[in-house]
Amino acid sequence: MLSLQSAYILHQRPYRETSIIAEFFGEVSGRFVAIIKGAKRRKGAKALLQPFVPLVTAFRGKTELVNITHLELRQQPWRLKGINLLSGFYINELIIRMLKNLDAHPKLFIYYENVLAKLVDASPTCLQAALRVFEKNLLIEAGYGLNLSRDAKTGLVIDPNKTYIFEPELGFYTMQFIPPEQALQGTTLLALHEDTLHSAQALREAKIITRFALARYLSTKPLHSKALLQALIKRKSL
């Protein structure tokens, strides 16, 4: 009996004449890499085997490369466009780079579907908030969660009226003098902790926090999706 699970293709590439190798993110199995044999010969396969298409899958194998034994559409694809589409690719690339193969993350799968739903028609502000919250949740699920509610040195609850400095190996703490370029508002830490990022300042500082935290665990190889996103933003501003 096949063990079916909901899944998404994160990335795919050709394999031999008729097959492809795809990176998947599954509700039960987490990230896994699979061969889809004869994929290029299947009617309608091109539309099906794309990112942001909700699938039902099953695979056979316990190695780093498994074989897909079942593949069907679960529901209509998420229709992402422009910057929101590139943001979706950015999220996919983060999952590929941050998660271990066949390491289950069912809660992150829910977060992933939630952020895709938001990216369908998110405004620029909502887009940035959704990305920051997903980055935070990805760090938690990967085992690198940030303590956004307490001062790392004193253990006291974060004070919304104080400013804090971020030291990745330690966390967030306040001190008598913090260089302005490193100062993070207590309100920002609490907003990121509670998923209530609304103000421009909170969004700007939350981006500094998550990017700084993610950089410690990503390899030195630049994110391809991030470069594309920055190029598109620059082109739109010309």
The arrangement of secondary structure in 82-237, i.e. its CATH architecture, is Up-down Bundle (1.20)
Nearest partner of 214 among 119, 104, 99, 85, judged by Cα: 99
The pTM assigned to this predicted structure is 0.91
Q: What is the pLDDT of residues 171-186, one digit of tens each?
A: 999 999 999 999 999 9
Domain boundaries, given as residue ranges, for the chain: 5-73, 82-237
Q: What is the pLDDT of residues 4-19, one digit of tens each?
A: 999 999 999 999 888 9
Fold for 5-73, please state it: OB fold (Dihydrolipoamide Acetyltransferase, E2P) (2.40.50)
Sign of CA dihedral 197, 203, 205, 210: positive
